[in-house]
A and B are shown apart, each in its own frame.
Chain A
Amino acid sequence: EIVMTQSPATLSVSPGERVTLSCRASQGISNNLAWYQQKSGQAPRLLIYGASSRATGIPARFSGSGSGTEFTLTISSLQSEDFAVYFCQQYDHWAPMYTFGQGTRLEIQ
């Protein structure tokens, strides 16, 4: 099973800052990588798919990059509504199987 590792576990940042979250796959997954945002008491919301494509309605301050085993989610200027937990997720079409990272929590500094 492909294991997804996110870092850091928690990140304390201030509104307006630029932030980069990391996600590493235990083996190459091409660009089969998605990012989700989850706020307390809510379901995850798709932000990015195909490693770098923004989902419908997602603001341009969210961007994704990477391929193979190393991926990043960048938020160019943090807004108050962006403080949440972010998950990455991979798709292994050979299995088929989907696995998620353990999440990165963005906290207000």
Chain B
Amino acid sequence: QVQLQESGPGLMKPSETLSLTCHVSGASLSSGANYWSWIRQSAGEGLQWIGRIYASGRTDLNRSLRSRASISADTSSNQFFLRLRSVTANDAGIYYCARLGWMDTHFDLWGQGTVVTVSS
């Protein structure tokens, strides 16, 4: 079955660039069947959609994060990535990768999440 697995550094210092990876197994990013997304969750902000990427490389980002976030993909390794520049304590939380379902209206499959802490 399709599975998503996030990986990342865990602990960041303020002003650093966060880089996260989502490895997809059981499905091919290059098939173009789905959009793939990043979502984060924190006590302060709740669940926040960060952005999505399609097989073609087309991305859409949350307007509030557009100046700092970018999403890319490597179809040869079946992975997609999040980069978030200039992190602050407000960027701490659990980061999930997820698959967008039919008609791209909902997230039908989630990774287990990776915890990001920001501290000097």
A binds B: yes
Q: Interface on A for B, CB 8 Å cutoff?
A: 1, 32, 34, 36, 42-46, 49-50, 55, 87, 89, 91, 93, 95-103
Q: A43-B113, A46-B101, A96-B60 in contact; A102/B107 too (CB < 8 A)?
A: no
Closest 5 CB pairs of A and B: A34-B106, A100-B47, A43-B110, A98-B49, A49-B106
Chain B count of residues within 8 A CB distance of the other chain:
23
A48 nearest CB neighbor, chain B only: B106
Which of B46, B62, B105 is A91 in contact with, Cβ under 8 Å? B105
Alpha-carbon separation in the docked complex, A101 to B46 (Å): 8
With a cutoff of 8 Å between Cβ atoms, the chain B residues found around residue A45 in the complex are 110
B107 to A34, Cβ gap below 8 A? yes
Residue of B whose beta carbon sits closest to that of A55: B108
Count of A-B contacts judged by CB separation below 8 Å:
59
- Tell me the smallest distance from the CB of A30 to a CB of chain B, in Å: 10
Q: Which residue of A lies closest to B49 (CB)?
A: A98
Q: List 19 A-B contacts (CB under 8 A).
A: A1-B63, A34-B106, A42-B112, A43-B112, A43-B113, A44-B47, A44-B110, A46-B107, A46-B109, A49-B102, A50-B105, A91-B104, A91-B106, A93-B105, A95-B63, A98-B37, A99-B49, A102-B46, A103-B46
Name the CB-closest residue of A to B102.
A49
Evaluate whether A89 and B113 lie within 8 angstroms (CB atoms) in the complex, with A46-B106, A49-B102 already known: no
When distances are taken between beta carbons in the complex, the residues of chain A under 8 Å from B113 are 43
CB distance from A101 to the nearest CB of B (A): 8
On whether the beta carbons of A34 and B46 are closer than 8 Å, the reply is: no
Please report which residues of chain B, range 6-47, place their CB below 8 angstroms from some CB of chain A when the two chains form the complex. 37, 46-47
The yes or no answer to B81 lying at the interface (CB within 8 A) is no
